[in-house]
Amino acid sequence: MAYTALKQMQQKNESMFGQGVGPVQPERHYDTVDHGMKAMALRFLHVRCEDLGFDPEIKAEEKKSGVWKGTSLLPEQIPYNMQMDINRLCLERELEKFIDSGVAEDAYTIYYCYLEMFFGHYGKSKKMVELLSEFESNGSSLLMKHRDHYSHSVYVFALGLAIYESNKAFRTAFKEFYGFDPQDSNKKEDHAAACCFLEYWGLTSLFHDIGYPFELPFEQVLSYFEVAGKKRGKGSLFLAYRNVSTITKLGNAAKAHFEKLYGRTFRTTEELFAYGITEKLGVPYDFSEDYMLGKIHDKPVRPNSFGYFMDHAYFSSARLYHEIENSLGTEKINEKHVDALTAILLHNSMFKFAISFYKDEDKHKEPLQMHVHPLAYMLMLCDELQCWDRTAYGRNSRTELHPMAAEFDFRNNAIHAIYYYDEEEQEKIDAFKKEYRRWEDNDEKGDMPRLKAYSDMAEKEQRFASDIEKIVDTTDIPLTVVPNTKEADRKSKHTYLSDSNFLHLYDFAVALNARYSHQGKEEEVPTADLEKEFEALSLEYQISNINQAKSFARYLDVLKCFYTDRPVDYDMVKAFTKRQMRTFAPMEHERWIREHISMGWISGDLYETTSLPDNILQRYGDEKAARKALREQLRVHKLAMDGCPSEKEVFAHYKALPEAEKEKDFKPFNSMLKLIKKFDGLRIYKLD
């Protein structure tokens, strides 16, 4: 059934109004014979995460009181569990968009969905999410080597979902580790385990690199030496951090909580993490808690003892701990949260160079097995696999050859990966192959030729795959890697001239929503009040506003306009003309239509024409409010379309709309022009 609460509501509606009502079960845009990353990740969300977020106590309270606790456009319009189903559908649809595009704006909505679903609301964690992208886009060009970590983290998230869905050995290891029945045939336990994995894998994967803003300044200083051809090491000028207790010290409430949880006292997150890592890895890798605490403590203050490298993973785990504490409350932090945090701490260099010594032939220890620390295992595996489609920021990174795309086949509990390189770089590839053969013919004397990352996949040593196998045990997930080339699809990213920094998307969405409430008086309302109104919406309506904002750059491009927060020598647009608005309004209508189809809405006006049952009128007090609520319960809309209409059919549908309805597709954008100045100082300019 997949979306059980939606199905239950449809059955209830059919009993009251007859056939042809919603909510309809959302379609699956993949089939059972597809074993790629997209199909597997979406199948995990669609099928295995059944009943995600359901609350039996709230359901019982709704039945007793007759008042629904779920929010749609407004509070108490739908059952709580139905809202949870719609939230999951939002995540499924947004993940599908991201995997298709790979752009930061689509990665942003994954973070947004996750935080709304598991942290309560996005606003509390807004700065944490936005800081990494802000640092990378503005500061990374000063480095010698650096590539995107924002979209990268969402790809890592998707990879983990696909592996969990396709690999029985990992599912079993995860279930047994966290006390679930390991048999997939036990559907209730299987769904519960999948929901658990989604929550804590999401926490681990999406936030594993948020500490990069601490690593980037360190690398910027060393880049000055590397520009002159000097290698980092003794004699290098480097940064080290002081007063780290500012982010590691535990408060009294946290100390008491963890003492109750673990039976001992911790003064800092360093001590907590050292304990958590040693409990799992200490015996198999023969190290003590004191050893681990020393290694953790030295990360920020003695980077020279780690080859003159700063470990962003240290700061990611420390920063994320406080985000969890501030968002959920200390009393709600559990052992799984700590497991996610220690997985993050381990993933970059701690496990490789302080525990397993994977590059040291004399000290090398066995790779990590999945049953020892499932979240750390999955993070290290997926972090290594995800090397495609990453924006290069560093000077050297921009000229190196990296895979632009990848295809995965997860059949038979294995991973078969094809990494694609731009065929326009074939000249570089041919030159490398020629040099590599010459090196082989010369008895492999001297340094091995390199063309990172192509050479790591193409050389006979298969360094890319063999390094992964040294880090994590792939016995139950056999890995094969093949490099290939193909023509680059440069239009798939839909990149426009507008400075489409996703940091503005939230503000755009808030501004768009404000138009509906304040009708031209938006500038007079305090920003905090506008954000509060936006946060009161359900996730579905918040995401709808955000997707409308994401489309703004595309609409401006059609009008030969763009937006930016930088002063430029172009004529400023202070208001859209009627001609301009009638150009992009049908485009906005098409976006709205396809969004509603993907979210399981159907066409109809039953909510306006039917005789209202007495219980619905009593529940909402007046007829107008009752009909609005009925629309949300039926998921029927008079402006929606069914099936898979063509662009021509959607545009014809738009032309047939009443003028008042057409205005809804363009009036918000003129109102938004006033508000974006208030939020971010953005201006819109025209090219001619």
| 488 and 407 assigned to the same domain | yes
> Which pLDDT score is estimated for 537?
92
Number of domains in the chain: 3
Q: Is the pLDDT confidence value at 490 over 70?
A: no
- Backbone dihedral angles phi then psi of residue 292, each to the nearest 5 degrees: -65, -40
Tokens 């701690």 belong to residue: 350
Q: Is the pLDDT confidence value at 681 over 60?
A: yes
**What are the pLDDT digits (tens) for 515-548?**
666 666 666 677 778 888 888 899 999 999 999 8
| 453 and 511 assigned to the same domain | no
Q: What is the token pair recorded at 546?
A: 């955000």
pLDDT level of residue 170 (50, 70, 90 thresholds):
very high
**What are the pLDDT digits (tens) for 47-67?**
999 999 999 999 999 999 989
pLDDT level of residue 398 (50, 70, 90 thresholds):
very low
In a domain, 534, yes or no: yes
> Which pLDDT score is estimated for 359?
86
**What are the pLDDT digits (tens) for 101-118?**
888 889 989 999 999 999
Dist. CA 15–CA 413, nearest whole Å: 44
Dist. CA 317–CA 96, nearest whole Å: 28
> Which pLDDT score is estimated for 397?
43
Average pLDDT rounded to a whole number, residues 2-9: 93
**Single-letter residue type at 312:** H
Dist. CA 77–CA 64, nearest whole Å: 16
> Which pLDDT score is estimated for 175?
98
| 587 and 454 assigned to the same domain | no
DSSP 104-146: HHHHHHHHHHHHHHHTS-GGGGHHHHHHHHHHHHHHGGGSSS-
In a domain, 327, yes or no: no
| 418 and 471 assigned to the same domain | yes
pLDDT level of residue 511 (50, 70, 90 thresholds):
confident
Cβ contact 538:80 at 8 Å: no
Residues 6+ apart with CB under 8 A from 57: none
Residues 6+ apart with CB under 8 A from 497: 557, 562, 687
Mean of pLDDT over the chain? 87
> Which pLDDT score is estimated for 113?
94
pLDDT level of residue 154 (50, 70, 90 thresholds):
very high
Of 178, 204, 230, the position where a domain reaches its end is 204
Cβ contact 616:630 at 8 Å: yes
137 dihedral zone (left: phi>0; alpha: psi -120 to 50; beta): alpha
Alpha-carbon distances of 203 from 236, 343, 346, 519, rounded to whole Å:
36, 10, 15, 39
In a domain, 131, yes or no: yes
Helix (H) or strand (E) holding 384: helix 374-385
Q: Give percent of the chain above pLDDT 90.
A: 55
- Backbone dihedral angles phi then psi of residue 572, each to the nearest 5 degrees: -85, 145
Q: Which domain holds residue 186?
A: 32-204
> Which pLDDT score is estimated for 173?
98
Alpha-carbon distances of 291 from 182, 252, 271, 331, 418, rounded to whole Å:
34, 26, 11, 29, 40
Provide the β-strand partners of residue 454.
Answer: none
**What are the pLDDT digits (tens) for 589-648?**
999 999 999 999 999 999 999 988 888 888 888 899 999 999 999 999 999 999 899 999
| 522 and 654 assigned to the same domain | yes
In a domain, 652, yes or no: yes
In a domain, 163, yes or no: yes
> Where are any strands of DSSP class E within 280-409?
405-409
